Amino acid sequence: MNLEAHNLYLKGIHFNRMYGSRGVESAIDYFRQALEKAPAYAAAYYGLSETHLQIAFWGNQPPSEVCQKAKAYARKALAIDPTLGDAHGALSYIYTVHDWNWEAADRESLEALRLSPSSAPSHMFRSWYLSHVERHEEAVAEAFEAQRLDPVSNFVNMGPGIALTWQGRYGRAIDELEKAKKINPDSYLIRSFLGIAYYANGEYEKAVGEHQKATEISGGAAFMAAFLELALSQCGKREEADRLFEELKRRSRKEYVSPANLFLMHLERGRLAEAVKWLRKAGEMHDTNLSWVRVAPPELIKSPAEPRLQTLLKKGLVKAMINRTISRYRITEDAA
């Protein structure tokens, strides 16, 4: 092993998983430096795959373009080292959130665990797949196993909170995400998911606070700002929400803003025709947030005074709409 390349890889992983104000640029730079020292270093290619998956969610680039790069880097890593379980895990996540190919995602996440049973990231990739197919008890168990294996990593410390939120256990999710925040209060991603958990739990003021901080730390990332807008609306701060809504629509004309988030914002305002337009665009662009919205708990799309039955009916309609969209645009095994 080239120790200099390995140290550069470790620095890249550290910066990528901070999910903080320094972003992924430093991580990409370190991974590329590692490959300059050792061009056949499979782990560095995996690192580039992981950073591009992050960009596909929180960046301002179209996810299809970025996920194709992430897939190519993961496959390059496996071409060099077929036993690198985490690269199979990265592929499983691409199949889950971009290709919407659950069969391939299942296969790759299991292969990741077979090859790397002690890898925290491989357990997290499996957890995320399981949340997407609504096997929530298993998703929570995998997330806690990842946390046991690497208790100080941002990459895995937010995992139990995410799995618990999508299971609908909001109080426990909040506890886990608050603990994760204490480890790294500068993580915009932990704060964003904590805001989502507070929102689902009906604690809208706390949700606003976390989303404001996440938006600030991330440098105004559109994903964070979109959830801030939704929380402001639920708090009755309509004027602030409307200003942010208009700003995000303007930004969408010149940079990538998640169509799935714009779908949710239009839906929250009762603008069904506009919501459907953005849902179609989310399918066309393979928006990596869409599959998360598909299995989101009903409380994430409710209105404050809405009866529980109405919320459940709305969630059923939203899921049916997303399922039709995903079925139309999903990438099959042959194309994967």
13 and 88, same domain (yes or no): yes
7 and 93, same domain (yes or no): yes
Residue 112 domain flag = yes
The tens digit of pLDDT for each residue in 192-231 reads 999 999 999 999 999 999 999 999 998 899 999 999 999 9
229 close to 255: Cβ distance less than 8 angstroms: no
140 and 113, same domain (yes or no): no
| Sign of torsion over alpha carbons 79, 81, 82, 87 | negative
113 and 125, same domain (yes or no): no
292 and 320, same domain (yes or no): yes
Residue 203 domain flag = no
Give the domain-ending residue among 184, 218, 234. Answer: 184
7 and 70, same domain (yes or no): yes
Total count of domains within the chain: 3
% residues pLDDT > 90 (the chain): 77
- Which pLDDT band holds residue 333 (cuts at 50, 70, 90)? low
Give the domain-ending residue among 165, 184, 203. Answer: 184
Residue 309 domain flag = yes
172 and 276, same domain (yes or no): no
Q: How far apart (Å, rounded) are the C-alpha atoms in residues 160 and 170?
A: 11
Residue 209 domain flag = no
The CATH number that applies at residue 166 is 1.25.40.10
Q: What is the pLDDT of residue 23?
A: 67
Residue 159 domain flag = yes
73 and 159, same domain (yes or no): no
**Angle formed by the axes of helices 222-234 and 238-252, to 10°?**
150
Q: How high is the mean pLDDT of the chain?
A: 92
Residue 67 domain flag = yes
273 and 309, same domain (yes or no): yes
Residue 140 domain flag = yes
88 and 126, same domain (yes or no): no
Q: State which residues form the domain around 310.
A: 258-336
Give the domain-ending residue among 156, 184, 212. Answer: 184
177 and 128, same domain (yes or no): yes
The tens digit of pLDDT for each residue in 7-30 reads 999 999 988 887 755 668 899 999
Residue 37 domain flag = yes
Q: How far apart (Å, rounded) are the C-alpha atoms in residues 228 and 212?
A: 6
3-state helix, strand, coil in the chain (%, to 5): 75, 0, 25
